Structure 1
Amino acid sequence: MDSGSQDRNLPASERKLQKARDDGQVNRSQDLSHLAVLGVGSLTLLVLAPVLFDHLRVDMVRQFSFDAATMKEATTMLTRLGDAVTVGVVGSTVFAIVVMATAILAAVASGGWVQSLKPLMPDLSRLNPLSGLANMFSKQKMITTAKMVLLTCILFAVAALFLTDGMQTVLTLVMQPSNSAIAQITRWITGGIGLMLLVLLLAAMVDVPLQSYLHKDQMKMSHQEVKEEGKEADGNPQMKSRMRQRQREMSQGASINAVPKADFVVMNPTHFAVAIRYDEKTMRAPQVISKGADLLAMRIRDLAKSHSIPVLQSPMLARALYANAELDQDIPSALYTAVAQVLAYVYRLRAALKGLGPMPGEPPQPVVPVELDPHHKLAKAARA
C-alpha cells in the first residue's frame, strides 16, 4: 500500500462502520457507565438500607434473646442465623441485579447493542510489546489519559473541599445521641455522594460526544482504502455475470412448477420452450410463466403434455419470447399480435375438444418482427 494510504482524512463509509460494529468496535463512554452504576447503586442502597437495617435490628434482638426453650433446642441458633443470611443474600442479589442491568443499559445507550463475540476471542497480537507501546502513545490514548487525569484532579479537589467543610460537623457528632448522629452522618454521606455524581454527570456530558468523535476519527479512511472498498463493492464483473446466470437458471428451474397453469407452450422445436398464460380478468397482456433451453425445454414440453396443455411448434416466436420476455411479466407489445393468433387457435382447439365447435386446421405461423429474433441479430452482427 502506498504512503498516501496512511493519510486517513476521509470519513468512514457505512460499510466500514458496519464492519467495525460487527467486530465489536463501537464508541463506549466509561464515564457514562460509571455515572449510571454509581448513581443507580447509591439510590438502590438508599432504598434497601432502611429495610435491611430494620431486618438486621430484628435479627440482632433475636440472636441475643435466650430463654429456656431456646436452650433446649440446639438448632434454634442455626435457624436464626439462616434467617439473617437469607435476608443478606436476598438484599445483595437484588443490589447486584440492579447494578448489572444498569451497567448493560448504560453501555447500550452510548454505543448501541452489538452481537459479536470477536472481542472475547484470544488475539496473540495484543501480546506484542511493540504494538502495545505504539497504542500507549496513540491520539485516542493520549486524550483519554488527559481526561482521566483532569477528572481525578477535579474529584480530589471536590472531595477535599467537602471534607474540610464538613469535618467539624462530623467531629461534634460524638456529643449527640446515637439516633441523631446516625441520621446526620447519613445526610452528610448522601450529600457527598450526590456531589460526586454531579461531577461524574458533567464528565459524562463531555465524554459521550468525545468518544463518538474519537471513534469516527479512528475509523477515517485513506483515498486508497476508499478505492479498494469501491472495487470490493462492485465485485469482479465475471463473477457477477456468473452469479446472474446462476440466478436466471435457478429462477427458470423454479418456474417449471408453473407450467400446469399455462394456456399453451411454444417451442423451437427442441432448443427453446416458453409457456404462456393469459387471464383477461387479472392480466393486461399474456405473460411468460416458464421458459427454458435444451434439457429444461424438454422438461417443460413433457410436463405440458402430461397436463394436456397444447405444445405448438413456432421457432421464431419461441426464440423471440425466450430472448425478450421476462418471467411473470407482460410480453413485449411487439409480440401481442403473434401471441394473440396462437391463443385464438388454442381457444378454438379447446372448444372443439369439448364438442362446442369444429376442429381447427393447422396451427398458425405467427409473424414475428425480425428485430426480436436472436438469429436475425446474430446474422446482422456477423455481416457487420
Structure 2
Amino acid sequence: MAQGDQEDSQKTQEPTEKRLRDARKRGEVPSSRETGNMMVVLSLFGVAALVVPWMGPRLAETLSALIDGSGQVVVGEGRSGLAALGQLLREVVLSLATILAPLFLLILAGGVFGVLIQGETVAALDRVKPKLSKLSPVQGLKRLFSANTLVEFGKSLVKVLVVGGLAIWVTLWAVESIWEAPGFIPENLPGYLILAARRLLLAAAVFLVPVAVVDILWQRFQWRQKLMMTVKEVRDEMKEAEGDPHIKARRAAIRRRRARQRAAAAVPTASVILTNPTHYAVALRYEKGSDEAPVCVAKGADLMARRIREIAFEHEVPIVENKPLARMLYDRVEIDQMVPMQHWQVVAEIISFVLDLKANRNRKPPEGSVLRTSPD
C-alpha cells in the first residue's frame, strides 16, 4: 500500500471545528460546478421565456431605424462632422444598452444565486496564490486518476448523452412542426426557433436540478472526507489548544506541592480550623493587637482539607466543625484575606470558645459548631 493511501486509511476521526474553520479561512469550501451550470441553463431559459419576447421587437425597431436612416446621416468634415457622428453612436449605444440590460442582469443574478445556494461562500487570497504543488506532474497524475476525477468524468458523460438526446428530440419536434405547419413562411421561423429553445432549455434545466443537488451533497462529502483526521492529529491539536497534558499535570503537581508547603507553614499559626467536616477546611488566625479581624491563612478541599486537619492535629490547633460557615468562607475568602464583616460575629463566637478552651474554661461550642478531637 502506498504511503498516501496508508495515511488516508488512518484518518478515522471527524474533523474538529478548528480544522473546519482553518479550511474555510484558506478558501477550501465545498463548491459544485453543476450548480453553476444549472443556473446558467435556468437563466437562459428565463431570457428565452421573458426577456427575448420583450427585447426582440425593441431591438429590431432600434436597428431597423438605424438602417433605414443610414442614408440620411450627413457626416461633415471637421469637428462638427465628428460631433454629429459621435452623437449618433451615443444614441445607438444607449438604446442597445437599455434593451440588453435585463439580459445581463438576469444572467448575473443567476450566477450570484448559484453561488449563494451552496451554503458556504468565502473569499480567500490563498486560492489565487501560485503554488508549486499545482505544477508537480506527480500531483497532477494523482488528481487525474482520483475518485473525484472519475466522478466528474461520469457526470460529464451522462450530461452529454442526456442533453444530446434532448437536443435531438427537440430538433426533431421543431422540424416536424415546421414541416406540418400549413402556410409556413420564413417570417415565422424565429418564433419556432425561440419555442424550440425554450423547450430544450426547460428540459435541460429539469434534468440538471437533481444533478446539481446530488453534486452538492457529493462535494460536501468529499470536502469532509478530505479534512478527516488521524488520532495523532486530534491529539496534537488538543495539545496546541489546551497545552501538553504532561506539562499541565506537572504544573498541577507543583501547585499542589507548594500548597502543601504553604499549609504546613501557615496552619500551625492558625487560631482555629473550620471544617465541613471532611470536604472543606479553612484555617483562621486572630491575634489581638495585630489582626483587625480573623484572617484566612490556609484553605483546601478534599485531600488538601485532610492534610490541613492532620497538620492542625499535630500542632494542637483546635478543629471546629461548622458546615455552612466553612463552606461559605471557602468560597468567599482568599488566603491572607480577612473574613467579611457579615461573618465577624459567628467567627468571633467560635474564636472566643477556642480561647476559653485554652484557658481551661468549660463552655459549650456556638450553635451549629462541633469540636473535633481528631483529623478524620
Question: Which residue matches 1:113?
Answer: 121
Distance in 2, matches of 1:177 and 1:94, equals: 30
CA distance in 2, matches of 1:210, 1:67: 57
In the TM superposition, residue 30 of structure 1 has moved relative to its aligned partner by 1.2
CA shift for structure 1 position 126: 0.9
Distance 1:215 1:158 in 2: 33
Partners of 2:184 and 2:73 lie apart in 1 by 37
CA–CA separation in structure 1 for the residues paired with 2:172 and 2:327: 90
* 1:269 equivalent in structure 2: none
Deviation at 1:236, TM superposition (A): 3.0
Mean CA deviation greater in 48-57 or 194-203: 48-57
CA offset at residue 212 of structure 1? 2.1
> What letter corresponds to residue 207 of structure 1 in structure 2?
D
CA gap of 1:232–1:198, structure 2 versus 1, over 3 A, is same
1:26 aligns with 2:25: no
Question: What's the CA shift for 1:199?
Answer: 1.9
Report the CA distance shift for 1:235/1:94 in structure 2 as closer, same or farther (over 3 A): farther
Q: Which residue of 1 aligns with 2:45?
A: 42
Displacement of 1:191 after TM fit? Answer: 1.0
Report the Cα offset of residue 128 of structure 1.
1.0
- Answer yes or no: is the 8 Å Cα contact 2:30–2:223 preserved in 1: yes
Counterpart position of 1:17? 20
Contact preservation (8 Å) 1:126, 1:132: yes
What pairs up with 1:163-312 in 2 under 5 angstroms? 163-170=171-178, 176-236=184-244
Q: Give the structure-1-normalised TM-score.
A: 0.58
**Per-residue deviation, 1:174:** 11
In the alignment, which of 319, 322, 328 is matched to residue 333 of structure 1?
A: 328
Deviation at 1:156, TM superposition (A): 1.7
Distance 2:200 2:85 in 1: 39
Shift of 1:31: 1.0
Match of 1:351 in 2: none
Q: Identify which range, 175-184 or 33-42, moves more after superposition.
A: 175-184
Cα distance change, pair 122–314 in 1 and its aligned pair in 2 (3 A): farther
1:135 aligns with 2:143: yes
Distance 2:106 2:37 in 1: 14
Asked if the contact 2:32/2:216 (under 8 Å) is kept, the reply is yes
Deviations 1:203-240 (A, max 9, x none): 22322222222222222233333333333333235887
Secondary structure of the equivalent of 1:28? coil
Structure 1 segment 69-80 matched on structure 2, within 5 A:
71=74, 78-80=86-88
Q: Counterpart of 1:317 in structure 2: which amino acid?
A: V
> What's the CA shift string for 1:53-72, capped at 9, x where partnerless?
33323323432445998659
Indicate yes or no: 2:305 matched with 1:317. Answer: no
Give the partner amino acid of 1:37. Answer: V
RMSD between aligned residues: 4.5
Deviation at 1:33, TM superposition (A): 1.5
Work out the percentage of aligned pairs sharing the same amino acid. Answer: 16
Q: Does 1:146 align with 2:154?
A: yes
Contact 1:9 1:222 in 2 (8 A): yes
Match of 1:285 in 2: none
Unmatched 5+ stretches in structure 2: 253-289, 300-325, 333-337, 353-376
Name the CA shift for 1:117/1:174 in 2 (closer, same or farther; >3 Å).
farther
- 1:216 match: secondary structure: helix
Counterpart position of 1:349:
none
Say if 1:226 and 1:4 are closer, same or farther in 2 by CA, change over 3 A: farther
Q: Hey, what's the Cα distance between the residues in 2 that align with 1:341 and 1:203?
A: 73
Aligned length: 279
* Structure 2 residue matching 1:189: 3-state secondary structure: helix
1:341 and 1:68 mapped to 2: Cα distance? 106
